[in-house]
Amino acid sequence: MKIKKILVANRGEIACRVFKTAKEMGIATVAVYSDADKDALHVSMADEAVYIGPPPASESYLLIDKIVQACKDTGADAVHPGYGFLSERAEFCQALAKAGITFIGPGVKAIEAMGDKITSKKIAADAGVSTVPGHMGLIDDAEHAVKIASEIGYPVMIKASAGGGGKGMRIAWNDAEAREGFDRSKSEAASSFGDDRIFIEKFVEEPRHIEIQVLADAHGNVIYLNERECSIQRRNQKVIEEAPSPFLDAKTRKKMGEQSCALAKAVDYQSAGTVEFIVDKDRNFYFLEMNTRLQVEHPVTELITGVDLVEQMITIAAGEKLNLKQKDIGIHGWAMESRVYAEDPYRNFLPSIGRLTRYRPPAEHSKKKSVIRNDTGVYEGGEISMYYDPMIAKLCSWGKTRDDAIAVMEDALDQFELEGIGHNIPFCSAVLAHPRFRSGKITTGFIAEEYPDGFQGVTATGALLDQFIACALMLDRMKFDRIAKRDNQFPIQMAETMTRVVRIGRDEYSAEVTTKDDHNFKIKRGKKSEECQIDYAPHEGLARIKCDKASLNVKVDRVGGHFRLRARGVDVVAMVLSERVAELAALMPEKLPPDLSKFLLCPMPGLVVKLMVAEGDEVQEGQSLAIVEAMKMENVLKAEKAAKVVSIKAAEGESLAVDDVIMEFE
């Protein structure tokens, strides 16, 4: 059977990713889109596009009948579901089969068996796969959840049976958290998946999240393509992934791979799939779930194996035999993936929506020693919608070693120009530079443990601070040199060497700057003298600097005549002053922010799902006040201190912007 036209029942970067391979295979493509996506990149990338409804996914991307009809209208003979949405819905697979349309994914049996986390654990155990202790039956209510959690022993993981992507998932350390976790998981599960069934299992402490990629065809051939380390997570949502894992040895890798293949065979699996495991500090591993679809982080596997997983899915769906054997799968170098999200790390990672006023990702390349790959579904001038997942791009790097891959990624993140919304690029840079991450001694608790009070940015020290100072000095000197050359009629004579003071926060650094030519300078601080170069033009947003042998890409903005500089998670405003102005600036009083402690402000654009208090109520510290939903996640807002509610300014069902007042306290 030959597939001639593929409709991708998805949006954003994954739709673009599938289209790319389909086009390389000479297969025609069809996109579907909602009102919110009429100008989206995936729509323009496809050969044809079909409108399917309003922005909410429940009224467009999740409507099986509309997807099937779009196939009939365009003559698409196959559907790739991407991930999320309908990708793991057995009824979707059945509807396509009834219409004579090929589903590029596993069969109904595998989707049903692995889509239910309770059933999947039973099948896994029967297939000889290690499983986590837990309660595999359904949970009746919050009190039943507390009883079961107590029997298993805290901490426990409360999870949606039909869940995925971190939705409908909570960790509980006591009875109170079990009650609230059950309620929130049940609500999120109903909202995200239309299925509110919940189960509970033991939470493995000091765990690593490691998954095995498998490929299986309709002829009984099953192979595994090594592992991915996905332990860097926040609220169960992966942030940085890598392949291979810095923790596994060859023996454990083989054992996990063989068990994954055994599970795939047990459910007659046919396509690309991922078996997820929790691995403890002694390399004991336990089955979590099997994702019967392409994973978000699949590029890192492709980069170390050279296998195009989307191409394999298409050929398997067409009935072809796997053209790979287990002995063909090696590990070549190391790959990293940073998930670039529309969320503000400085505001507890709250979702951010709006227009991308600047979107300049690093240039993709594939060289002998390094690779940069950017899977994306957005463009400069496009909008990030409140209706869908906050992912902007998946930035991937490859190097010969883990250190090489990290270095390539750090440089790529520094080059990534993204403005108009909050984003997590500074946080990704901070994680990559963290000594614990560098050591490879990571767990799923890394972010919670290393950033318990949230992310406050990175403080530049040592050589990195020297680079920021040098960058500010060169930008300042370039400004004066341009002024001197601008007016030919009344030229300004500039001293070859200038003494300047760089002020970052309350700290000052004095230096002598000597111009050698437009882009080369000599910088002397105390007894240390450096030859520095800068590649920058005023209309650009990125400065490429080099001092001696150390180079750095720095994002540059002008703020009130000063320079905002960003790189490696550092975000500072550098004031470059004369010595006299620096003396006076030190005497200026510091402006304090306004007191907003009497207000509960909406921390993100979102929908007020529930108000949990009324006017006149006395609330205690930590008490839940309201639930705001944004980008498919429910966020519980709690009281920071004991207070009395004077007035409530928002209503349930109301959409709010960032910093809109929800309620006022006495």
Active site residues: 289
Distance between CA atoms of 480 and 201, rounded to whole angstroms? Answer: 65
DSSP state letters, 472-508: HHHHHHHHHHHHHHH-SSSPPPPPSEEEEEEEETTEE
Contact of 358 with 418, CB cutoff 8 Å: yes
Distance between CA atoms of 368 and 400, rounded to whole angstroms? Answer: 9
Contact of 347 with 373, CB cutoff 8 Å: no
Q: In sequence order, what are the beta bridge partners of 6?
A: 29, 78
Distance between CA atoms of 64 and 95, rounded to whole angstroms? Answer: 8
Rg (alpha carbons) of the chain, rounded to whole number? 27
Distance between CA atoms of 551 and 517, rounded to whole angstroms? Answer: 19
Distance between CA atoms of 33 and 30, rounded to whole angstroms? Answer: 10
DSSP alpha helix (H) spans, 127-215:
142-152, 175-193
Burial (0-12, 13-18, 19+ Cβ within 10 Å), 142: middle
Residue 548: count of CB within 10 angstroms of its CB? 11
> Hey, what are 546's tokens?
């080099």
Label residues 215-242 b or e (16+ Cβ within 10 Å = b).
bbbbeebbbbbbbbbbbbbbebbbbbbb
Distance between CA atoms of 10 and 33, rounded to whole angstroms? Answer: 8
346 DSSP 8-state letter: G
Distance between CA atoms of 619 and 337, rounded to whole angstroms? Answer: 43
